[in-house]
Amino acid sequence: MNAPGGAEPLLAVEDLVVDYRIHRKLRLRALKGVSISVGAGECVGLVGESGSGKSTLGKAVLGLAAVTSGRISFDGQDITHVKGAARRRLANDIQVVFQDPYGSLDPTMTVGEVLAEPLEVTGTSREKARAVVAEMLDHVRLPSDAVHRYPSEFSGGQRQRIAIARALVRRPRLIVCDEPVSALDLTTQSTILDLFIDLQRDTGVSYLFVSHDLGVVRRICHRVSVMYQGEIVEDGDTTKVTDDPEHPYTRRLLLAAPVADPVRQAERRATWLGLRDSA
Amino acid sequence: MTTAPFPTTLAPVKRISLWRRYLRRPLGVVALAVLLVVVAVAVLAPWLAPFDPNLVDFKLTHATPGDGHLLGGDSAGRDILSRLLYGAQTTLFGAVITCAAGLLLGVPAGVSAGYFGGATDRVCSWISDALQSVPGMIVLLVVAAGTGQSFVVLMVALGIFLAPGYYRITRARALSVRKEPYIDAARVAGVTNGRILRTHMLRAVYAPIVVQTALTAGIAIGMQAGLQFLGIGSASTPSWGQMMNDGFQNMLNYPLILLWPSIALGLTIAALAFIGSTLADLVSVRSEQPTRRDRSRVRESLAAPAPGDLAERVASGSHAHDAEDCALRVDNLRVGYAVSNGVKEVVRGVSLDAAPGEVLGIVGESGSGKTQTIFSVLNLLPSGGTAVADGIWVGGREVGRLSPGERAALLGRSIGYVPQEPMTNLDPCYTIGHQLVEPLRHVHGMSKAAARERAREVLVQVGITDPDRVLVSYPHQISGGMAQRVLIAGAVAGRPPLLVADEPTTALDVTVQAEVLELLRELQREYGMALVIVTHNFGVVADICDRVVVMKDGRIVETGPVERIFRNPEDPYTAELISASLDDTESRQELDEAWSRESPAALDRVGEKDGAR
């Protein structure tokens, strides 16, 4: 399961366990020993229902969830418990795009300020930052006069472009995408997915792509891991997993998504009902 | 935006600043003018005052207004007007010190407590609570005695007692902002905690702090006058509280001496209070409430011939059934909202119908007007929205002719409604049993026992295996999928002939979505209901609908039976929406293969880049 080049993967997660503290004594095991790897220029998908632990894995890589045991390494370096200034230095290499295009941009900042912030913390000069921001807006195909606007003046799809541009300004090597298209209309969804693919081809960035939609994952990911209740039940090449799933859960997940064709959907539903009743 | 994914220019927006919106409030403007006059008087006191405020002239003792002394003299023979003008200086100076002390203590503590939580929060909150439980006036008197009546120290001490007000307001705001994804995004971007506090957090608390400062200044001035009234403060600096004390002692014989400082103090405090409440209004209410005039303006505009492409007000869409056979029939519906420069029409002439036993899908993207159409039928338009139609028939009755009470009764009995967000549509304060039983008792007049039995029965019907446990549960004790089942149970409990579902599966996982669709199909068949389902997903349409209405920009672009729409969409927009679903698209591997065939050089470039690393 290594990167296409066969070299050491960019991101390697080994046997990761994450517990959430619900109560002083009660703990919930969100991840029960999960291993994945992401190579350079590769997109790896994490698919599952809510509560399957897929977002937790993304958060652990970003340092937003405390790891109980296991190891996360980035470019050969152990980043499992990295905090403070060392974690902030990782921001050069690892970035994020969140699901909610409304909550992920500070409503009181202009787009220019939002995009310049990750640069300013590294001490980039104002002129340089302005040039990079203009370049990134062009990358995500937003007009350059967007910098003077507030996030509330954009549609959901445009905001997600802004969030992607913010993830790109530091020219990271890995972007964790946490359900980045699931709050968008279907047509907007496909243009954003195409944008993700184009950006990957242009910059060679890697994606860890968290989603509940196997259709989206099939479109953008090279490989996929299917998660169920904190464990990976199946992984492999996306084309193979979506064409010919092995695990019954993957099959159920695949059949549950309706297709936009009444005749085929009727068949699919019948198969799904059969699978559900036998399960 | 979706049809033109790469806009080259952005539409101009009209931003109305807080300042401009403030100036539209007459009460706020008057209050601000009063405060500005007081400030001007304080600054210009040395030039405005006709006499030295401490100059004693025995002839002036208890003098009535006149003879060069506009407001007369006080009991020590000093000019009241001059003392009043200089007193404004003291008052405002004290208020500024108090507010500054409260701000500098309360805001950083509140922001840090809200952002960091844990021990920081506990310690800060403990101190704040302790401060609030100490009797402030007594401590202030002690401080006054202990510091030789230093005015500045006293005002700082007062500020410390008012700091918990700032603390509470900023902590609450910071607590809610801390959970926003943009804070996580900033942390991932390598922004330090200090910088997050200074930028994101401070911006979030800015508006409530401004409001709080106006109110705190009013309180500070009142407390300050109280202290001076008790005789605290230097006798040589004129102050309003001192003047009131003087007036109070001669109240029966010379009431005018008390009147002047009371007016000055009352006006200043009232001005600050009104400024505060006007600001609070403006900050909390983003969109202003429409007036009755706005509403009639919208109604007139929707009824009048429109400029542009729809001058004749032609309806879009068509009716498939005879009027008397329909469970729902909408004829030329238009919905408009009042905006600053006219009326914004979000639904521009929509006609549709659904017969009993039929499933009608309304499809469109966000902003197409599909939800607004449904809300007009349900009479649930948000305030500011006005619906005008040639007719809306529910179960053969025209709802426009009914009185509001009759309309509510008809809607309650003949329409079941399944909303998009299951969790926010259940009241967290009541058990699920209560929320299912109450409508049955009030709308359908069932007895308590019968209603409870019916609620239990529908819960079983929607596939809940332990209905008795669910009936006594609160909404937070069940999952999202279960909550949607409960809402569906509530919608069908009264056996309505029409069920309306607004994006009923969008907030759910795909596996739960399949279950809910299956459930809706079963119930619809069993009850022979008409089902109107609003969605943006053509997969859902293919799964459940008999007929479909495609909406774009408030108009129906196409309507027809599901098989025909999918096989042979007449409108290019319908075709675009259908093809946007990712069912048969190429996988990433196939896309990459095609791409490398087209541009092998590009692939090499990526390969080199990887090799270089």
Element (H, E) at B583: none
Half-sphere exposure of A237 (CA within 13 A, CB side): 9
Is the pLDDT higher at B56 or at B362? Answer: B362
ipTM above 0.90 for this complex: no
Structural tokens at position A205: 């960035």
pLDDT greater than 60 at residue B311: no
Name the superfamily (CATH) of residues B29-284.
MetI-like (1.10.3720.10)
Q: Check if the beta carbon of residue A65 is closer than 8 Å to that of residue A144.
A: no
* Mean pLDDT, all residues of chain A: 89
Distances (CA, A) of A216 to A173, B213, B253, B322, B542: 22, 50, 87, 42, 19
pLDDT greater than 70 at residue B509: yes
Q: How far apart are CA B423 and CA A50, in angstroms?
A: 15
- For the ranges B225-234, B264-273, B436-445, B547-556, the lowest mean pLDDT is seen at B225-234
DSSP 8-state symbol, B80: H
* Structure confidence at residue B607 (pLDDT): 45
Identify the band that residue B477 occupies on the pLDDT scale cut at 50, 70 and 90: confident
| pLDDT 10s digits, B174-233 | 999 998 889 999 998 889 999 999 999 998 898 889 889 999 999 999 999 998 888 887
CB-based contact B184 A96, cutoff 8 Å? yes
Residues of B in contact with A157 (CB under 8 A): 1-2, 5
Element (H, E) at B60: none
* Structure confidence at residue A7 (pLDDT): 62
Is the pLDDT higher at B342 or at B24? Answer: B24
Q: Give me the helix-helix angle, B136-146 and B151-178, nearest 10°.
A: 140
What residues 13-52 of chain A have any CB closer than 8 A to a CB of chain B?
Answer: 40-41, 43, 49-50
CB neighbours of B5 closer than 8 A, spacing ≥ 6? Answer: A141, A157, A188, A191
Kindly give the residue spans of alpha helices, DSSP state H, lying in B255-355.
255-284, 292-303
Q: How far apart are CA A102 and CA B499, in angstroms?
A: 31
pLDDT greater than 50 at residue B4: no
Q: How far apart are CA A40 and CA B453, in angstroms?
A: 61
* A241: nearest Cα among A233, A232, A250: A250
Share of residues in chain B with pLDDT > 90 (%) = 42
What residues 170-199 of chain A have any CB closer than 8 A to a CB of chain B?
Answer: 170, 185-191, 197
| Distance, CA of A48 to chain centre | 13
Q: How many CB atoms lie within 10 A of CB A277?
A: 7
Give residue limits of the domains in chain A.
247-279
| pLDDT 10s digits, B71-91 | 888 888 889 999 999 999 999
Name the superfamily (CATH) of residues B322-580.
P-loop containing nucleotide triphosphate hydrolases (3.40.50.300)
Q: Which residue of B has its CA nearest to A276?
A: B515
Identify the band that residue B321 occupies on the pLDDT scale cut at 50, 70 and 90: confident
Predicted structure pTM score: 0.82
CB-based contact B184 A64, cutoff 8 Å? yes
Q: Which of B479, B587, B597 to mutate to test the interface with A (most CBs of A within 10 A)?
A: B587
Structural tokens at position A231: 């464990």
Residues of B in contact with A96 (CB under 8 A): 184-185, 188
Element (H, E) at B250: none
CB-based contact B2 A157, cutoff 8 Å? yes
- Quickly list DSSP for B112-142: HHHHH-HHHHHHHHHHHHHHHHS-HHHHHHH
pLDDT greater than 60 at residue B531: yes
| pLDDT 10s digits, A76-123 | 999 999 888 899 889 899 999 988 888 899 988 999 999 999 998 888
> What SS3 class is residue B361?
strand
Q: Do domains B29-284 and B322-580 have the same CATH topology?
A: no
Give residue limits of the domains in chain B.
29-284, 322-580
Q: Nearest 5°: phi and psi at B501? A: -125, 120
Q: Which of B15, B188, B509 sits opposite A95 (nearest CB)?
A: B188
Q: How far apart are CA A271 and CA B334, in angstroms?
A: 43
- For the ranges A25-39, A179-193, B280-294, B376-390, the lowest mean pLDDT is seen at B280-294
pLDDT greater than 70 at residue B13: no
Is the pLDDT higher at B14 or at A6? Answer: B14
* Structure confidence at residue B287 (pLDDT): 52
Q: Which of A40, A155, A185 sits opposite B536 (nearest CB)?
A: A185
